[in-house]
């Protein structure tokens, strides 16, 4: 005979089992019972939908690129005369303005130029006085005309020598009103010091020096130079819009146009050079930076969905397509290219379908739970 205690335990278990079976609503039971269909509660949070629309899908050509300064804006600074470097007043990557002093040099060449100017100045004054005396004597018929002409020639030669000496000092950057034997090398243009090729105490050989005192580059405008293979050349033309991205600034892009495509193929790499000129306010783009040049090769109509709308399981991908009344069908799709964070859908959805664009993972997790 069974005890009353065992009978009570059996009755309680049957009651609990009956309550568990009635917990699901009819809609939930139907949603889980239908293969390939998921149910979303009306108050589900974190789930957004969108209507599928066809759009133009661009096909891009990405070229590896690097940044170069414009060669016409790069100046290699050599001293106008040789001598011993007393002081270098700039360092690499200093910003300089036109006319700013870059270096001071003790120059024997400048000393000779100053001495020649002073000598020519004295000689000119002497010859000019002689000409004035000869002119006065000729006016009083106290000298021959040939002596006056000789004085004129001597004064003209002295003037020419003085002009030559003056011009040489001007080229050396010396003011004739404030003569000095110390050569001051100044910046011929504003820009950034790329490198330094001399140090205090060294002797500079002027234009015969193997290296310049320094190199100045104006990088307010720079070149993005990319390499393109022969097989891709047909899709590139001068004036075409281009987008430049740099490894240093992954979230930023610069727009420009192809200014030129080289006419010669590199025999080693079998590539040609593509140049895009970029304005560089603030000098954020630095020479030798690496990046890429993106060119639009072609475009075609198709369907692009945000990456968040596509759910992947192993090698399969699917989206949730709306069936009405809060119901969504899990539908397999074939993926194409990835374009700027969106994914091309080759097949599986049609234009006008309503899909879940955000929160598809929440839907899937809810159905499995």
Nearest CA to 181 out of 72, 75, 84 is that of 84
- How sure is the predictor about 8, in pLDDT bands with cuts at 50, 70 and 90? very low
CB atoms within 10 A of CB 250: 9
The stretch 230-254 carries a mean pLDDT of: 91
Q: How far is 85 from 201, CA to CA, in rounded Å?
A: 5
Q: CB–CB of 213/257 below 8 Å?
A: no
Q: How far is 152 from 333, CA to CA, in rounded Å?
A: 101
Q: Does 306 share its domain with 328?
A: yes
Q: Does 222 share its domain with 294?
A: yes
Q: How far is 369 from 20, CA to CA, in rounded Å?
A: 15
Average per-residue pLDDT for the chain: 82
**325 is a domain residue:** yes
**112 is a domain residue:** no
Q: How far is 183 from 102, CA to CA, in rounded Å?
A: 11
Res 164: pLDDT: 93
- How sure is the predictor about 44, in pLDDT bands with cuts at 50, 70 and 90? low
- For residue 40, what is the domain's CATH number? 2.40.420.20
- The token duo for 259 is 């200014």
Percent of the chain with pLDDT over 70: 84
Q: Does 321 share its domain with 362?
A: yes
**248 is a domain residue:** yes
Q: CB–CB of 295/11 below 8 Å?
A: no
Residue 18 burial (10 A CB sphere; 0-12, 13-18, 19+): exposed
| β pairing state of 54-69 and 290-306 | antiparallel
CA 174-113-131 angle, to 5 degrees, is 100
Q: Where in the sequence is the domain holding 310, given as residue range(s)? A: 29-57+301-368
The pTM (predicted TM-score) of the whole model is 0.64
From 299, 327, 353, the end of a domain falls on 299
- For residue 228, what is the domain's CATH number? 2.40.30.170
Res 14: pLDDT: 38
Q: CB–CB of 46/194 below 8 Å?
A: no
Q: How far is 186 from 171, CA to CA, in rounded Å?
A: 12
For 268, the 3-state DSSP assignment is coil
From 299, 314, 345, the end of a domain falls on 299
Query: What is the tens place of the pLDDT at every residue in 12-29?
Result: 433 434 444 333 433 333
Q: CB–CB of 224/278 below 8 Å?
A: yes
Query: What is the tens place of the pLDDT at every residue in 140-159?
Result: 888 888 888 898 899 999 99
Query: What is the tens place of the pLDDT at every residue in 182-238?
Result: 899 999 999 999 999 888 888 877 666 678 899 999 999 999 999 999 888 887 888
Residue with tokens 């091309």: 344
Q: Does 294 share its domain with 224?
A: yes
From 283, 299, 315, the end of a domain falls on 299
The stretch 61-90 carries a mean pLDDT of: 92
For 310, the 3-state DSSP assignment is coil
Number of domains in the chain: 2
Res 33: pLDDT: 34
For 225, the 3-state DSSP assignment is strand
Res 365: pLDDT: 42
Q: How far is 69 from 76, CA to CA, in rounded Å?
A: 13
Strand partners, 165: none
Please report, for residues 54, 57, 59, 304, the alpha-carbon distance to residue 299 in angstroms, rounded to integers and kept in the order given.
13, 5, 6, 13
Please report, for residues 139, 306, 349, 354, the alpha-carbon distance to residue 53 in angstroms, rounded to integers and kept in the order given.
104, 12, 10, 10
Q: Does 285 share its domain with 339?
A: no
């Amino acid at each position: 005979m069974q005890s009353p205690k065992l009978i009570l335990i059996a009755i309680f278990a049957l009651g609990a089992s009956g309550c568990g079976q009635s917990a699901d609503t009819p809609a939930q039971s139907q949603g889980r019972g239908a293969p390939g269909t998921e149910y979303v509660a009306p108050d589900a949070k974190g789930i957004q939908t969108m209507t599928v629309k066809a759009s133009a899908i661009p096909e891009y050509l990405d070229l590896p690129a690097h940044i170069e300064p414009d060669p016409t804006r790069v100046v290699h600074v050599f001293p106008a005369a040789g001598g011993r470097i007393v002081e270098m007043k700039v360092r690499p990557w200093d910003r300089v303005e036109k006319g700013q002093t870059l270096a001071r040099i003790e120059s024997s060449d400048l000393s000779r130029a100053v001495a020649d100017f002073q000598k020519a100045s004295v000689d000119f004054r002497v010859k000019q006085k002689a000409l004035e005396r000869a002119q006065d004597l000729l006016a009083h018929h106290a000298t021959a005309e040939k002596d006056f002409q000789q004085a004129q020639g001597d004064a003209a030669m002295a003037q020419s020598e003085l002009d030559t000496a003056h011009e040489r000092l001007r080229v050396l950057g010396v003011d004739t009103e404030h003569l000095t034997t110390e050569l001051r090398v100044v910046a011929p243009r504003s820009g950034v010091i790329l490198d330094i090729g001399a140090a205090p105490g060294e002797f500079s050989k002027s234009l015969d020096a193997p290296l310049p005192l320094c190199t100045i580059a104006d990088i307010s405008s720079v070149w993005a130079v990319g390499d393109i293979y022969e097989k891709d050349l047909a899709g590139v033309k001068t004036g075409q819009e281009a987008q430049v991205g740099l490894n240093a600034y992954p979230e930023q892009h610069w727009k420009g146009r192809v200014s030129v495509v080289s006419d010669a193929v590199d025999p080693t790499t079998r590539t040609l050079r593509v140049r895009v000129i970029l304005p560089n306010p603030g000098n954020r783009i630095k020479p030798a930076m690496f990046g890429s040049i993106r060119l639009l090769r072609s475009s075609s109509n198709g369907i692009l969905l945000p990456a968040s709308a596509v759910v992947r399981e192993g090698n399969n991908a699917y989206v949730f397509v709306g069936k009405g009344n809060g119901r969504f069908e899990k539908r397999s799709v074939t993926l194409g290219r990835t374009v700027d964070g969106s994914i091309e859908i080759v097949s599986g959805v049609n234009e006008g379908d309503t899909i879940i664009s955000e929160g598809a993972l929440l839907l899937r997790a809810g159905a499995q739970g």
